[in-house]
Structure 1
Amino acid sequence: MRSLLVTGGAGFIGANFVRLWARERPADRITVLDALTYAGNRANLANVKAELVVGDIRDEALVDQLLASREVDTIVHFAAESHVDRSISGPDAFVETNVVGTHALLKAARRAWLGDGARRPHRFHHISTDEVYGTLGPEDPPFTETTPYAPNSPYSASKAASDHLVRAYHHTFGLETTTSNCSNNYGPFQFPEKLIPLFLLNALEGRPLPIYGDGMQVRDWLHVEDHCRGIMAVIDRGRPGETYNIGGGAELPNLVVIDTLCRAIDDAFAADPSLTRRFPDAPAARGLPTASLKTFVADRPGHDRRYAIDCSKARDELGYAPRHDFASGFAQTVAWYLANEPWWRAIRDGSYRAAA
């Protein structure tokens, strides 16, 4: 039986992880530590067997208390500022949360598990991103775990710094750490500032779909449940001190994803007349193509052109393989947002913050 402390567990990927772990390992104890900033949402953990503690990962006294009182043996560290656009307009928060916050957790973990000359069984798993590796050219091979770091945004630079701290605490102090670097996630509960939920909800409300540059930036798309299963595999079977890349095997230009989304919405309205009543502002409600909302805007500064993940190490060592291809995972995602309007309406109108 494990006792987990999941930081950022009320956010998108963290909540999906908590839900999956609680469903498949109900005997384990899960404590979620989340500051409930704008992207954290109590509703993401509704009806899940997990304790939510509202607090900041930089609060070392709180973390010390949780590690001791819950007899935590596994930290799963999701908590992070993660939106590149926000890191450009306000990088300070990214350094505070992603660098200072990660260091505070590492110090607390070292005290709890390696203090007083003792060595208690433990694992500190750190979730990172493929963005730390920088950008790829059209013909470059995918990122591997040995690709040199070359972050190009304040967000990716802050994640790179946190990765290095985790590595250092393993090599210097013997803390049993693992790190996973993932590609672009999509799926249920994603905060609608990221491409797929933002464009989906904009389309339902008849708002523009703003496409950076020419829209041909390439990303590897990873269904969030596949990512969470990959994290579980790293925690269970990953070697301490190692890094594992987790990808979805779906390398697509943003414009292809957007066009797929537009067609999916048009098809959904054609198949379900009730959507016209629910979303009268959508072009599809008036028989117009959703693609008519596409609007090309100036590219953002430092926008990486291509990411691609080689996850053969995770496959060979851990048995990881994504269960969702993009077509099926994307269809499930669209269906989830259409079926969970109250969840995203509360975010759009800000009422979800009342419960923070």
Structure 2
Amino acid sequence: MKILVTGGAGFIGSAVIRHIIQNTQDSVVNVDKLTYAGNLESLEQVASNERYAFEHVDICNRAELDRVFAKYQPNAVMHLAAESHVDRSITGPAAFIETNIVGTYTLLEAAREYWNGLDSDVKEAFRFHHISTDEVYGDLPHPDEQEGELPLFTEETSYSPSSPYSASKASSDHLVRAWLRTYGLPTIVTNCSNNYGPYHFPEKLIPLVILNALEGKPLPIYGEGDQIRDWLYVEDHARALYKVVTEGKVGETYNIGGHNEKQNIEVVETICSILDEIRPKATQYAEQITYVTDRPGHDRRYAIDSTKMKNELNWIPEETFETGLRKTVQWYLDNSQWCTRVQDGSYQRERLGTLEVEGNQ
């Protein structure tokens, strides 16, 4: 196969590309705008491979997308390009509307025109795989709100997004399904839980805490830190996504989770414990934990039921939270120069996503 991956220089996209090039015989075309969160250093292991190609293209640019489709003639699209940080979406929602909604629409139309021109057998095999998030579902009951067995997100859970980010991703999901229903474009949607692992841009919780801890900076916990997330190691997610694009059924949705529900405070304390062990200092890292005002509209709990992935596609995560997190902490210890370069003055781990604006305290 030849697979066109959008957002391939990002965190999850680069993991997908590394997996494909290193574990299959397929070819990859990486289409990426290279925003602040996209970095080609994440692909150095595969960049010289003859089965890999890079195109510096914005998915909102229809003419460039048409050129890429015509040049490479892909058999499938894996659409990962997205603005993805909730805090940034609160501070500046416009970029999320543009990339996640308008960009997805533009890509769908380019793919549809290309797909319509294919020979029947190639057309039948083509897939458009849209990668989304569990945040489109809103939040679930928290253990302190409900006794007994707590519900999980399934593929049938109704959408109820809370943030500009999740609302924009929900919109893109609806567009993808509409292009299947109306135009017949063979689409598949996946919704995943919180990813973590190597090459994660340090605006997200786990890399931010690791780097702040090492630099002696405060480790910010939103609210009481009791928000629950299901954590998925990024390389497990990459394997799952490849399973879906190669074996998944057109029109289906697949939820991909790590089976690791943890409160945010648990995650931070575990990172501190690992660092106490492998990079000890005079004081305990947990002493740097500080509590800050919560994020506006913060969802309290996410948790995914991945039964469909297990039963239909024979996928389960290989990493436990403990093994994956230890690998992640060690990677950041070993790759401090990457961390410094990707921030490069554009972001220094400052707090984003508050409702305060200049002149309005």
| TM-score (norm: length of structure 1) | 0.92
Letter in 2 for 1:55: V
Contact 1:10 1:45 (C-alpha < 8 Å) held by counterparts: yes
Of residues 14, 39, 42, the one that matches 1:41 is 39
RMSD, aligned α-carbons: 1.5
Number of the residue aligned with 1:16: 15
* Farther off after superposition, 127-136 or 52-61: 52-61
Letter in 2 for 1:6: V
SS where residue 185 of structure 1 aligns?
A: strand
Long gaps (5+) in structure 1: 271-283
Does residue 164 in structure 1 map to residue 174 in structure 2? Answer: yes
Identity %: 54
In structure 2, the CA distance between the partners of 1:142 and 1:111, relative to structure 1 (3 Å rule), is same
Number of the residue aligned with 2:357: none
Contact 2:18 2:45 (C-alpha < 8 Å) held by counterparts: no
SS where residue 229 of structure 2 aligns?
A: strand
Does residue 344 in structure 1 map to residue 339 in structure 2? Answer: yes
* Farther off after superposition, 65-74 or 297-306: 65-74
Does residue 134 in structure 1 map to residue 138 in structure 2? Answer: yes
Letter in 1 for 2:29: T
How far is 1:237 from its partner? Answer: 1.4
Of residues 104, 109, 112, the one that matches 2:111 is 109
Cα distance in 1 for partners of 2:273, 2:118 equals 61
Does residue 197 in structure 1 map to residue 197 in structure 2? Answer: no
Cα distance in 1 for partners of 2:95, 2:346 equals 23
In structure 2, the CA distance between the partners of 1:54 and 1:266, relative to structure 1 (3 Å rule), is same
Of residues 264, 276, 300, the one that matches 1:305 is 300
Where do residues 224-303 of structure 1 align in structure 2 (5 Å cutoff)? 224-270=234-280, 284=281, 287-303=282-298
The Cα offsets for residues 322-351 of structure 1, whole Å up to 9 and x where unpaired, read as 000111111111111111111112124449
Number of the residue aligned with 2:82: 80
The Cα offsets for residues 99-141 of structure 1, whole Å up to 9 and x where unpaired, read as 0000001001100012489672311000000000001112431
Cα distance in 2 for partners of 1:194, 1:47 equals 24
Number of the residue aligned with 1:59: 61
Cα distance in 1 for partners of 2:76, 2:159 equals 27
Aligned length: 335
Cα distance in 2 for partners of 1:53, 1:117 equals 25
Cα distance in 2 for partners of 1:164, 1:339 equals 41
Contact 1:66 1:72 (C-alpha < 8 Å) held by counterparts: no
Number of the residue aligned with 1:68: 70
Number of the residue aligned with 1:176: 186
Letter in 2 for 1:30: V
The Cα offsets for residues 261-320 of structure 1, whole Å up to 9 and x where unpaired, read as 0111111124xxxxxxxxxxxxx2xx1011111110010100000000001011111111
Letter in 2 for 1:122: F
SS where residue 43 of structure 1 aligns?
A: helix
Letter in 1 for 2:90: I
How far is 1:47 from its partner? Answer: 3.0
Does residue 207 in structure 1 map to residue 206 in structure 2? Answer: no
In structure 2, the CA distance between the partners of 1:14 and 1:117, relative to structure 1 (3 Å rule), is closer
SS where residue 279 of structure 2 aligns?
A: helix
| TM-score (norm: length of structure 2) | 0.90
Cα distance in 2 for partners of 1:312, 1:351 equals 40
How far is 1:51 from its partner? Answer: 1.4
* Farther off after superposition, 107-116 or 208-217: 107-116
Cα distance in 2 for partners of 1:78, 1:236 equals 16
Cα distance in 1 for partners of 2:308, 2:211 equals 36
SS where residue 53 of structure 1 aligns?
A: strand
The Cα offsets for residues 67-104 of structure 1, whole Å up to 9 and x where unpaired, read as 11111111100000000000001001000000000000
SS where residue 321 of structure 1 aligns?
A: coil
SS where residue 145 of structure 1 aligns?
A: coil
Cα distance in 2 for partners of 1:242, 1:94 equals 25
